[in-house]
Amino acid sequence: MKRQSCDETSGDSDFGIKKKSTLLDILMERFKDDLPYGYINEELASILTAGHHTLTCFLSSILYELSKHEDIQQKLFEEVSSIIENVNCISTQNINALLYMECVVKEGLRMYSPVPFVERILDCDTEW
């Protein structure tokens, strides 16, 4: 079977096409007169750092679990290999076809929630 290149995907790959404004564009437009540039820069740094940290912790947990369960790792490897073996680049359509990977990711999110839930119990009555 002939390998499919990125140019031959007939437009099913939408990576790299700017459809909407970025977060930076929205913040700059909304707050350009009200807030100094440094403030917007600090807020973006906080958002990006938080997103990076939660993603790396989650991926580390998933990789750890996959290392413990070789049967799941093998099944996931076979699914990814079967989807991408005939293409040179991965498109949105290819990613949507990874159903078992979606299940693995969702189970990982269930087991290792990126945002912990803290439950509190009151020791005494509270008045407002």
26-85 tens-digit pLDDT: 777 777 777 676 777 787 788 878 778 888 888 999 999 999 999 999 999 999 999 888
Structural domain contains residue 118: no
pTM: 0.59
16: left (phi over 0), alpha (psi -120 to 50) or beta: left
Structural domain contains residue 85: yes
Instruction: Give residue 1's pLDDT band: very low, low, confident or very high (50, 70, 90).
Output: very low
The span from the first CA to the last CA of the chain, in angstroms, equals 71
What's the total number of domains in the chain?
A: 1
85-99: string of b/e by CB count within 10 Å (b at 16+)?
eebeeebeebeeebe
Query: Tell me, what's the pLDDT at 5?
Result: 52
Phi–psi pair at 106, nearest 5 degrees: -65, -40
**How far, in Å, are 34, 57, 64, 105, 110 from residue 69 at the CA level?**
53, 19, 9, 14, 17
Domain of residue 43: give its range.
21-111
Distance CA 115, CA 102 (A): 19
Structural domain contains residue 15: no
93-121 tens-digit pLDDT: 888 999 999 999 999 998 988 776 677 78
Structural domain contains residue 7: no
